[in-house]
Amino acid sequence: MSKLLIVESPTKARTIGKMLGKDYTIIASMGHIRDLPERELGVDIEHNFAPQYVDTSRSKSVVKELRAAAKTADEIYLAPDPDREGEAIAWHLAEVLEKSTKSPLYRVTFHEITRSAIEKAMTEKGEINLNLVDAQQARRVLDRIVGYQVSPLLWSRIEKGSSAGRVQSVALRLVVERERAINAFQPEEYWVFALVFRTADGREFTTRLFKINGKDFKVGSGVEAEKLMAAVRAGAPPAVGPVTSAERKRYAPPPFTTSTLQQTANTVLHYSATNTMRYAQQLYEGMDIGEGGAVGLITYMRTDSVTIAREAQEAALSFIREAYGANYLPPKPNFYKNKAAAQEAHEAIRPTDVRRTPEAMAPFLDPMQLKLYTLIWRRFVASQMAPAIQNLTTVDVVIGGNDAQEYTFRATATVPVFAGFSKVYEDAKKSKDESREAEVLGSLKTGDPLTIRDFKTEQKFTEPPPRYSEAALIKELEENGIGRPSTYATILRTIQDRDYVNREQGKLIPTELGFSVNDFLVERLPELFDVGFTARMEQELDEIEEGKVSWTDMMADFYAKFSPWLEDARNSDAPPPEEAGALLKLLEEVAFTAPEKVGRRTYDDGKFFRSIRDKFLEDGKITARQFQALLAIAAKYRNQLDARIGALPPALQEAVNAAAAEHAEREERREQSQAAAAAIDYAGLFAAFDKVTFEPPTKKGRFTYDDKKFFNSLKRQALDGKALSEKQNAALRRMAQKYRGELTDPALVDRILEIPAAAEAAESTGSAAPAAPNPEIARLLEGLSKVTQWAEPVKRGRFTYDDREFYESIAKQHASGRILSDRQVAALKKMAAKYSVKSEE
């Protein structure tokens, strides 16, 4: 019997393929095979918010392969990930494949990729959970509506290409509000006091001022501090007061969920949430560890549950007994309580086999994978161990000051009694000084006489709240009920990719664009981007998953609120109807010029005016953007309006006159630009590039850099008689330097683009000889060619900095004889220093 098993990724397909027999054909769907269209809303709001799904850009060949395989399969197993997104992928696969086969389709899920888990999943085949599918579909439609209908408001008022997101914008709001709290913070002075006491036998211990007259205190100035010190020094002789000693238990933290793994990896390993999930995915999908094929090393990494399978817990307890001793086992197995919304059927993130210790896995994992695996393994093992036991000793020394005040100084010391879980998960060692002081405190008895050896004071200032790290922001989002395990990394990546937030020294700092976007959204749509409202929407998505609410009913309820909010936001900066009406009336008798075609677009002033006028007559509204466009038209036809402008309200007169002055200035610049363009031999300039072979397009972050396409756009513009801007000329200069070795007339290019060094060389020799090879650059590139371990790419704002990619690009340019710019040479030298490559012979 032939069986078809469909998973998302090729890595998972390869790992599972070595675990199942020859009866199975395993194909990767490469994620979603259908999604909402990229360039349109794709949601029929009028018909129950029906999504208009289309094939994804890379799915056509995959779907063709899947359909062919389905026709010959006797059974089809849909095995995407065990979460909302995976369930939706399975549903889309079923929708597509049901038309190609009559064979049964089964849903199978597993939380770890091991032979036993896969075989068990195949025997427990079931059906697609439509509640999960509905919850995913609701989130997708909800996010699409918010993104597509709110983002255009930002394009016209903040910056073209900026975007709003239902959850990302709330995360941005948290970062911006924290930054504003920091900026508004006013530090307050306070003083702390410490007394070093000496016992009768010469031993010393340090205390801190704890209470004054049994109450909390604040000393806010140096003058107060001096008075306090004088009162204590002149007070009654000190003696040991109450001494207490108590045993304290510290219990192990639960095994990791997605959010706690991301937080801890960020804090301990300095991994971003995105990189944490990347390495976790690799560990989950399978690593070759020399056991006859790849195997998954951890359970599924998108989870909010701390539940542990009984078999895994029993294996952990057995391992702890053997590796550390029976005394490290708890009196009864540890169990941890899930949060209310957690999915009990899921497991926490844990190693699939506790006996695969980090030391045993080290030869098979790269350093980044190994660090994360070690963190997961230690946390899991610790979670099943006995608590750590400590002895906490507290000593108070009460001094009656000569000011009739009673000053209580306190010292505390913690002594480890039993390491418990901390033997695995954290370093329980104490410094020698701490241990010595603990011994001193433990030997003291009430009434023992003391002398003051030293009195220390320190001026301090209150500190502002700290900036969010990725770990802290994830914790804040989780505590507020915003986002879910599968979304935290995406939220953080999005606000950084959009250049709303920069990460500097591990802290998240809003950019100017981030401030502007946040302020606009919070001002215009405060209810939508409210933390509480976003959390309630997450709860409603959970209720859809639980089958308590219909997804279309939830969407209808949301849209009933959202629609008027959006309408108010669109019209909040609209001009008063009387001003709009007066401006439209002013333009009513203008003799508009004939339509003008520029490139692919046709500009028709009369048609545009009439469309706005007719809409205004219909609903009495006009947007701020339309009002500005009408002012531009009034400026253009100013000579026809002189006699009637005086009848306009004063504010409108001023607006029309300002627009006319701006229009005149713009026309003057355009005429100057055209005159300058006519004097430049653009035909000769661009002809010099005829033999250039441009590099293929490269994608960096959201942007694709295509030299050929950019060059041709400049060429069309210049040959159409439009002067290039200074920025465009600068870009063309860089391109000329980059491809200098392929130019047919470098001297002409240098002269027109005013490239000084190259122009001078051309004048002195009569031709532009290629630059001599730079031996220093050659040595640097040769040294970098031997680097075997490149640093991980770093994301800053919208850009990704990849050392290896940069080196390969520079090496290719140098090999082709192209001249490197000063900035490229400087960056190359900096990189060489980073990898200890020397430029000297």
Residue range 124-131: mean pLDDT, rounded: 95
Q: What is the pLDDT of residue 341?
A: 62
Over 666-708, what HEC string results? HHHHHHHHHHHHHCCCHHHHHHCCCCCCCCCCEEECCEEECHH
- Phi and psi torsions of 610, nearest 5°: -65, -35
Average pLDDT, the chain: 89
602: pLDDT strictly greater than 60:
yes
Q: What is the pLDDT of residue 792?
A: 72
Question: Could you tell me which residue, 602 or 798, shows the higher pLDDT?
Answer: 602
**Residue 603: strand pairing partners:** 596
Banded model confidence at residue 22, pLDDT cuts 50, 70, 90: confident
Q: What is the pLDDT of residue 100?
A: 87
Q: What is the pLDDT of residue 734?
A: 87
Banded model confidence at residue 771, pLDDT cuts 50, 70, 90: very low
Portion of the chain with pLDDT greater than 70, in percent: 93
Name the CATH superfamily, with its identifier, for domain 157-180+469-565.
Topoisomerase I, domain 2 (1.10.460.10)
- Which CATH number applies to 189-251+388-461: 2.130.10.10, 2.70.20.10, 3.40.250.10, 2.60.40.1120? 2.70.20.10
**Residue 298: strand pairing partners:** 351
Residue range 619-640: mean pLDDT, rounded: 88
Banded model confidence at residue 782, pLDDT cuts 50, 70, 90: confident
Instruction: Give just the sign of the alpha carbon dihedral 664, 669, 672, 674.
Output: negative
Burial degree of 302 (CB within 10 A; 0-12, 13-18, 19+):
buried
**Residue 349: strand pairing partners:** 256
Q: What is the pLDDT of residue 153?
A: 92
Q: What is the pLDDT of residue 769?
A: 42
Burial degree of 250 (CB within 10 A; 0-12, 13-18, 19+):
middle
Residue 41, H or E segment: none
Banded model confidence at residue 820, pLDDT cuts 50, 70, 90: confident
* Tokens found for residue 64: 């063709």
Question: Could you tell me which residue, 774 or 216, shows the higher pLDDT?
Answer: 216
Among all residues, which ones are annotated catalytic?
Answer: 300
677: pLDDT strictly greater than 70:
no
Lowest mean pLDDT among 190-199, 264-273, 570-579: 570-579
447: pLDDT strictly greater than 50:
yes
CATH topology of domain 3-128: Rossmann fold (3.40.50)
Boundaries of every domain in the chain: 3-128, 157-180+469-565, 189-251+388-461, 258-383, 577-678, 772-841
679: pLDDT strictly greater than 80:
no
Strand 3-7, strand 698-700: pairing: unpaired
Q: Token pair 């997804």 is at which residue?
A: 551
Lowest mean pLDDT among 86-90, 99-103, 812-816: 812-816
Q: What is the pLDDT of residue 759?
A: 40
Q: Provide the 3-class DSSP secondary structure of residue 117.
A: helix
pTM confidence score:
0.76
Q: What is the pLDDT of residue 75?
A: 95
- Phi and psi torsions of 199, nearest 5°: -80, 175
149: pLDDT strictly greater than 80:
yes
Question: Could you tell me which residue, 699 or 228, shows the higher pLDDT?
Answer: 228
Q: What is the pLDDT of residue 260?
A: 96
Contact indicator for 144, 53 with CB cutoff of 8 Å: no
CA distances from 195 to 240, 411, 432 (A): 13, 10, 20
If one counts every other C-beta atom within 10 angstroms of the C-beta of residue 157, the result is 16
Banded model confidence at residue 660, pLDDT cuts 50, 70, 90: confident
CA distance 579 to 589: 17
pLDDT per residue as tens digits for the range 509-529: 999 999 999 999 999 999 999
pLDDT per residue as tens digits for the range 448-500: 999 999 999 999 999 999 999 999 999 999 999 998 888 999 999 999 999 99
Q: Provide the 3-class DSSP secondary structure of residue 443.
A: helix
The candidate with the shortest Cα–Cα distance to 677, out of 724, 728, 713, 716, is 724
762: pLDDT strictly greater than 50:
no
CA distance 145 to 391: 58
Q: What is the pLDDT of residue 817?
A: 67
166: pLDDT strictly greater than 90:
yes
Residue 299, H or E segment: none
Portion of the chain with pLDDT greater than 90, in percent: 65
699: pLDDT strictly greater than 90:
no
Strand ranges inside 595-683, DSSP E: 596-598, 601-603
CA distance 618 to 625: 18
> Helices 775-784 and 822-834 sit at what angle, rounded to 10 degrees?
40
Q: CB-based contacts of 296: which residues, under 8 Å, 6+ apart? A: 15, 112, 113, 114, 283, 284, 285, 286, 287, 352
Q: What is the pLDDT of residue 599?
A: 64
- Phi and psi torsions of 769, nearest 5°: -70, 145
pLDDT per residue as tens digits for the range 287-341: 999 887 889 999 999 999 999 999 999 999 999 999 999 999 999 999 999 887 6
- Which CATH number applies to 258-383: 1.10.290.10, 3.40.50.150, 3.10.129.10, 2.30.42.10? 1.10.290.10
